[in-house]
Chain A
Amino acid sequence: MESSFDKNALFANLNDIFLDLLPESLSWMAYLGTGLTIILIMVNAVLMLTAFGTYMERRVLGRFQTRLGPNRVGPFGLLQPLADLLKLITKEDLRPESADKITFFLAPVLMVTSMLVVVAVVPFGKDSFLADLNIGVLYLVGIPTIATVSMFLGGWGSGNRFALLGAARAVAMLISYEVPMIVSLAGILILAGSMSLVDVVQAQQIPFILLQPIAFFVFLVSASAEMNRSPFDLMEAESELTAGFHTEFSGMRFGLLQLAEFGEVVVTSAILATLFLRGWENPFIPADWQQVLPPQLWLIGKMLFFMLIFTWIRATLPRMRIDQVMAFAWKVLFPLALINMFVTAALVVAWPDPTYTQLWIMVGVNWAVAIGCLTGYTLSRGRHRQKPTESVRLVQIPAEVN
């Protein structure tokens, strides 16, 4: 048990403190206390970041639409998340007559849990993390899938046809987008040679956002589909389905669902920063740059950057149709991810232990492949040749009709 926490300095230090405090006979409690303390810190950090994320998202979204956003509660409206929370807590908690008691209760809880549990493997620094799993990336793609189950539980348990339709859409979409997401991660794993997130961060001599542009694009798109955010928010399309699977939820249950939705943005930003932007280290190109900030702040800064990008996407893109969403997953993202995986694999076979120069050649090849894919896709669509008038055909009306 001790060996897996050897390199976790955060754990070791806290464990020492607890061992000093506790009598000899209760030393087993030090282990428990340390784990619970780190969990407490992590969960609270994520929840605070989520609260700040909702505030930031609303302010920035307001500025994207040339308005101000919430600015009344507290200085600059910073207490707005607290006001929202108070409002949601004081609201009546309704459960429809036709709802299934167990699933209706379980859905929000499962959703928030699956969101929070993911953070366990995200390293906040070289020696500060909750757990350094040797299958960290598998954990990352596996655990958020519970959210899909909870969505279906909520939609089905509500006893509402809108909720069921939204849940069905969500499940169809999320399962489709799991595939390109996982395949896009394969390229990174090939380069890093390990599934542990700490190793993935330390393997990034050049940030993977440069080395794996296609994987980044595919992962960004699939992640925003996984989070059910615009332009993939058709499971809660207001104009068609009232609110999707959380139509019947009210009060703090609804609050939990919203928390999970915004929390997933924070968590996904953390994952993106870890996998593609060198996690806790500085994101600049000379890797031996002086550390300007503490590693935790670097990670949080990168998370805020990705949260801003997700807000930007939400402010711009309109909602897609369900057939477009499915076609995009299977016809565009999945082949792209496959191409990326094969190209990366070929490069790694060519240079099993790449030097710095060879890494830069890899960057060049990968970007060339990305641009080639874009051009090829454009040519295959034939948009550049077709003029709008050519698609209009004159139809000769037979004389006997008149």
Chain B
Amino acid sequence: MPFGLGIAKGMMVTLRNLARKPVTVQYPEQRVTQNPRFRGEDFVWYEERCTGCASCAKYCPQGIIKIVTSPSGEQTQEGEKYKLETFDIEIARCMFCGLCVEACPYDALHMGTGFERAMPRKSDLVITVDELRASAKRPSTWFRPQLQDRGYDPASGEEVSWQDAGREATVAPTYDDMLKRWVEKR
């Protein structure tokens, strides 16, 4: 191989790259398609499903979920539900492990889809209960196979009502199923 041919080859490689289309995505105008299982920063919370058990707060490795409840809710007579006074998620320290979502026994807490919560101050990076109540209900399908099975995609902008968010909405057991599970197995 003559001396200098390697350099010539390398120059041709870069020249070929010059003719290629740039792979850059111009972010604010263009966006890459987001995976429906993306774990975003805005949590989706269904107050109707939440009992105030605070499992999420207990399972949070960072201890950033603060829950204060009071027995002043509607169904407290039956001992079913507490009213949530405070539900603060300090998103600045969140590492998006999703353990709170895994821990929720009632499918009330879901990961969100957003990623654009840049703030000038760290103290602003707290999701309060009012914000959780008011935010759009577009949960990520992460750890929520029932949403995935239904073909729901958060990127489509479709909102999920609290009746549809749970596992029973897709896999509602009939009386026969329950018999099979609880009686015939024993």
Cβ contact within 8 Å between B14 and A374: no
Asked if A63 meets B22 with Cβ closer than 8 Å, knowing A312-B14, A312-B15, A316-B11, the reply is yes
From A384, which residue of chain B is reached at the shortest CB distance? B1
Cβ contact within 8 Å between B2 and A67: no
Say yes or no: is B20 at the interface (Cβ < 8 Å to chain A).
yes
Say yes or no: is B10 at the interface (Cβ < 8 Å to chain A).
yes
A125 to chain B, nearest CB (A): 32
Q: How far is the CA of A106 from the CA of B85 in the complex (A)?
A: 67
Say yes or no: is A381 at the interface (Cβ < 8 Å to chain B).
yes
Cβ contact within 8 Å between A63 and B1: no
Q: Which of A359-395 contact B (CB under 8 A)?
A: 374-375, 377-378, 381, 383-384
A residues neighboring B (CB under 8 Å): 60, 62-68, 312-313, 315-317, 374-375, 377-378, 381, 383-384
Binary interface encoding of chain B residues 1-38 relative to chain A, with 1 for a CB under 8 A from any of its CBs, else 0: 11110010011011101101111101000000000000
Cβ contact within 8 Å between A312 and B22: no
Contacts of A381 in B (CB 8 A): 3
Q: How far is the CA of A378 from the CA of B23 in the complex (A)?
A: 39
Contacts of A317 in B (CB 8 A): 7, 10
Residue pairs across A and B with Cβ atoms less than 8 A apart, 13 shown, are: A60-B18, A62-B22, A63-B17, A63-B22, A66-B20, A67-B24, A68-B26, A316-B14, A317-B10, A374-B2, A378-B2, A383-B1, A383-B3
Cβ contact within 8 Å between B17 and A65: yes
Cβ contact within 8 Å between B22 and A67: yes
B26 to chain A, nearest CB (A): 8
Nearest 9 pairs of A and B residues by beta carbon = A316-B14, A378-B3, A68-B24, A378-B2, A67-B24, A68-B22, A315-B14, A316-B10, A64-B14
Known: A64-B17, A66-B22, A383-B3. 11 other contacts (CB 8 A): A63-B17, A63-B22, A64-B14, A68-B24, A68-B26, A315-B14, A316-B7, A316-B10, A316-B13, A378-B2, A384-B2
From B12, which residue of chain A is reached at the shortest CB distance? A316
Q: Which of B1, B11, B24 contacts A312 (CB 8 A)?
A: B11
Cβ contact within 8 Å between B3 and A377: yes
Q: How far is the CA of A281 from the CA of B150 in the complex (A)?
A: 72
B62 to chain A, nearest CB (A): 36
Cβ contact within 8 Å between B24 and A63: no
Q: How far is the CA of A383 from the CA of B6 in the complex (A)?
A: 12
Contacts of B21 in A (CB 8 A): 66
From B21, which residue of chain A is reached at the shortest CB distance? A66
Q: How far is the CA of A374 from the CA of B24 in the complex (A)?
A: 40
From A380, which residue of chain B is reached at the shortest CB distance? B3
Q: How far is the CA of A175 from the CA of B17 in the complex (A)?
A: 35
Contacts of A68 in B (CB 8 A): 22, 24, 26
Asked if A63 meets B18 with Cβ closer than 8 Å, knowing A316-B10, A316-B11, A317-B10, the reply is yes
From A67, which residue of chain B is reached at the shortest CB distance? B24
Q: How far is the CA of A66 from the CA of B25 in the complex (A)?
A: 11
Cβ contact within 8 Å between A374 and B11: no
Q: How far is the CA of A107 from the CA of B47 in the complex (A)?
A: 68
From B4, which residue of chain A is reached at the shortest CB distance? A374
Cβ contact within 8 Å between A66 and B3: no
Cβ contact within 8 Å between B7 and A66: no
Contacts of B4 in A (CB 8 A): 374
From B11, which residue of chain A is reached at the shortest CB distance? A316
Q: How far is the CA of A377 from the CA of B5 in the complex (A)?
A: 13
Binary interface encoding of chain B residues 45-79 relative to chain A, with 1 for a CB under 8 A from any of its CBs, else 0: 00000000000000000000000000000000000
Q: How far is the CA of A375 from the CA of B21 in the complex (A)?
A: 38
Q: How far is the CA of A377 from the CA of B1 in the complex (A)?
A: 11
Cβ contact within 8 Å between A66 and B23: yes
Q: Which of A66, A374, A384 contacts B17 (CB 8 A)?
A: A66
Q: How far is the CA of A377 from the CA of B3 in the complex (A)?
A: 7
Contacts of B26 in A (CB 8 A): 68
Contacts of B23 in A (CB 8 A): 66-67
A232 to chain B, nearest CB (A): 14
B1, B2, B15, B23 — most chain A CB neighbours (10 Å): B2
Q: How far is the CA of A391 from the CA of B155 in the complex (A)?
A: 59
From B5, which residue of chain A is reached at the shortest CB distance? A378
Q: How far is the CA of A383 from the CA of B21 in the complex (A)?
A: 37
Cβ contact within 8 Å between B14 and A375: no
Contacts of A64 in B (CB 8 A): 14, 17-18
Contacts of A312 in B (CB 8 A): 11, 14-15
B14 to chain A, nearest CB (A): 4
A197 to chain B, nearest CB (A): 30
From B23, which residue of chain A is reached at the shortest CB distance? A66
From B20, which residue of chain A is reached at the shortest CB distance? A66
